[in-house]
Amino acid sequence: ISDLLDYLRNNLIIAHLCGFDISKPLPSYWTFRRFINDFSHDYLTSIFQNQVNILKNMGIISGEFISMDSTPIKANTKLNNPKSFSKNKFSKDNQPNSDKDCKLGVYSASNDSSNKRYKFYWGYKNHIIVD
């Protein structure tokens, strides 16, 4: 949310296109937070599904080719801090107290196929699939 607010404050044209009155201050962090918590995500899922069906019926997308990507989302825990010297900080048995829902994840720290380096983290993954 903080990154979103920073982005909108630095890109007022985008804020305007999103429907905000840029002659007034943007809504607060807590207003965005309440919106995210109270908004039904099923509503957005329905919109996305309908949009895909419409684009498919119009022949804009075919549904034959799909690409998927993911990105790690690190939990706010001291175990993700590189300066943390906790023993076994990336052990499945060492669940962070600050976020009981996060899981141990791994991602490639290099795109070089001959020199794969992996990094562990506590958190989540965000996946996106596109046609």
66 against 119, higher pLDDT: 119
pLDDT, position 32? 92
pTM metric for this prediction: 0.51
pLDDT, position 66? 79
Return the amino acid letter for 41. H
pLDDT, position 118? 86
Residue 112 confidence (pLDDT) above 80 = no
pLDDT, position 27? 95
Whole-number mean pLDDT of the chain? 88
- State both tokens at 17: 């296109």
H/E/C letters for each residue in 43-112?
Answer: HHHHHHHHHHHHHHHCCCCCCCCCEEEEEEEECCCHHHCCCCCCCCCCCCCCCCCCCCCCEEEEEECCCC
Give the mean pLDDT of 103-119: 81
pLDDT, position 122? 94
Residue 70 confidence (pLDDT) above 80 = yes
Residues 17-66 have pLDDT tens digits of 999 999 999 999 999 999 988 888 888 889 888 988 898 899 888 878 87
Residue 115 confidence (pLDDT) above 90 = no
Residues 3-19 have pLDDT tens digits of 999 999 999 999 999 99
Domain residue limits, the chain: 64-130
